[in-house]
């Protein structure tokens, strides 16, 4: 039985191998560009703009340092899936039985296969969530193996959760899962919470220090907080007002206009760019032209 389950796990990983021939998606291309700039000493948001938290840019900087080809993206996705499956097996083995761990790993490899998504998963491989799943599994495993008065494993779990936060701020909620994992095995002690919190602060504080040293703390805030959490809602509301009886390309072009105006209004409020309301900046003009060209080329209403 164990050999059969291992063979099935290997087969599910082998089925992902053709993805190594795929080009990277649009998001991954942006992460790779920012990661490349990081390797050259630049900083995200100050020198290369994106709205995602900084963790993904440092992940892609590491990938670019190892392998500059497009295949680095599906290879990282494959490695993260294999690591996540192994961690799930170890969690099941620790909490229940070898069979429970093996079946958990198999279900993960099957249900989380990007090949089920559109375009054979090009857009979803090696995204933030890919690495978050692996890191959270590692944090849970460290938590369930922590004994009373153990400082090392709660600290290690916190360290992994700090990396999760750097990839996506709201993913920090997974700290509750790590604490619940401890509660399954034994009573939670204040010692666990303290050391997990200390571990969780290491990576975020290191990133803040890096951006502070580069004078880019405000850039970090404007891109990942003001733009991300304020802009998405306003632009979605604006696009929702576009008449639904338009064709796909016409609807996409109209969405470009309302999003463009929303960005200009937001820029004036947040002092990202100071502009007269009727005069777009060169950056926004270029963005609008690119989006309009994409819409005219057939974006099926997606911006």
List pLDDT tens digits, range 57-111: 999 999 999 999 999 999 999 999 999 999 999 999 999 999 999 999 999 999 9
Q: Is there a contact between 154 and 202 (Cβ–Cβ < 8 Å)?
A: no
Instruction: Tell me how far CA of residue 236 lies from CA of 254, 292, 297, in angstroms.
Output: 13, 17, 22
Q: Which of 25-29, 35-39, 184-188, 294-298 has the least mean pLDDT? A: 294-298
Does 263 have pLDDT greater than 60? no
pLDDT score at 229: 74
Q: Which of 124-133, 153-162, 230-239 has the least mean pLDDT? A: 230-239
pLDDT score at 283: 55
301 vs 146, more confident: 146
Work out the pLDDT band at 117, boundaries 50, 70, 90. confident
Q: What's the chain's average pLDDT? A: 82
Over the range 36-45, which residues count as b (16 or more CB within 10 Å of their CB) and which as e? Answer: bbbeeeebbb
Does 184 have pLDDT greater than 50? yes
Work out the pLDDT band at 297, boundaries 50, 70, 90. low
Q: Is there a contact between 135 and 99 (Cβ–Cβ < 8 Å)?
A: no
Work out the pLDDT band at 3, boundaries 50, 70, 90. confident
Distance CA 144, CA 154 (A): 9
Distance CA 144, CA 251 (A): 51
Q: Which of 97-101, 144-148, 173-177, 232-236 has the least mean pLDDT? A: 232-236
Residue 85, beta-bridge partner list? none
109 vs 278, more confident: 109
Residues 192-202, mean pLDDT to the nearest whole number: 96
Does 254 have pLDDT greater than 90? no
**SS3 label, residue 187:** coil
pLDDT score at 2: 72
Distance CA 170, CA 174 (A): 9
pLDDT score at 227: 86
Does 236 have pLDDT greater than 60? no
Does 270 have pLDDT greater than 50? no
pLDDT score at 4: 87
End-to-end CA distance of the chain: 48
pLDDT score at 118: 78
pTM score: 0.77
């Amino acid at each position: 039985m164990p050999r059969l389950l291992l063979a099935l796990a290997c087969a599910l990983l082998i089925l992902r191998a053709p993805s190594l021939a795929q080009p990277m998606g649009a998001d991954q291309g942006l992460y790779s560009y920012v990661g490349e700039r990081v390797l050259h000493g630049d900083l995200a948001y100050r020198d290369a703009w994106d709205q995602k938290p900084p963790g993904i840019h440092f992940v892609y900087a590491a990938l670019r340092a190892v392998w500059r080809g497009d295949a680095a993206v599906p290879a990282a996705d494959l490695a993260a899936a294999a690591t996540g499956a192994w961690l799930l097996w170890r969690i099941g083995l620790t909490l229940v039985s070898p069979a429970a761990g093996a079946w958990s790993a198999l279900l993960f490899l099957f249900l989380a296969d990007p090949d089920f998504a559109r375009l054979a998963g090009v857009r979803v491989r090696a995204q933030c969530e890919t690495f978050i799943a692996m890191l959270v599994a590692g944090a849970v495993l460290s938590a369930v193996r922590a004994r009373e008065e153990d400082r090392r494993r709660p600290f290690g779990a916190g360290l992994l959760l700090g990396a999760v936060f750097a990839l996506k701020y709201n993913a920090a909620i997974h700290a509750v899962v790590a604490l619940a994992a401890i509660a399954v095995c034994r009573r939670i002690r204040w010692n666990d919470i303290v050391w997990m919190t200390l571990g969780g602060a290491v990576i975020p504080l290191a990133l803040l220090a890096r951006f502070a040293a580069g004078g880019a703390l405000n850039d970090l805030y404007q891109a990942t907080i003001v733009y991300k959490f304020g802009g998405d809602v306003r632009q979605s509301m604006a696009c929702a007002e576009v008449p639904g009886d338009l064709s796909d390309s016409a609807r996409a072009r109209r969405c470009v206009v309302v999003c463009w105006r929303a960005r200009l209004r937001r820029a004036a409020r947040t002092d990202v760019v100071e502009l007269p309301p009727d005069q777009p900046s060169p950056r926004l003009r270029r963005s609008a032209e690119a989006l309009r060209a994409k819409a005219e080329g057939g974006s099926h209403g997606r911006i």
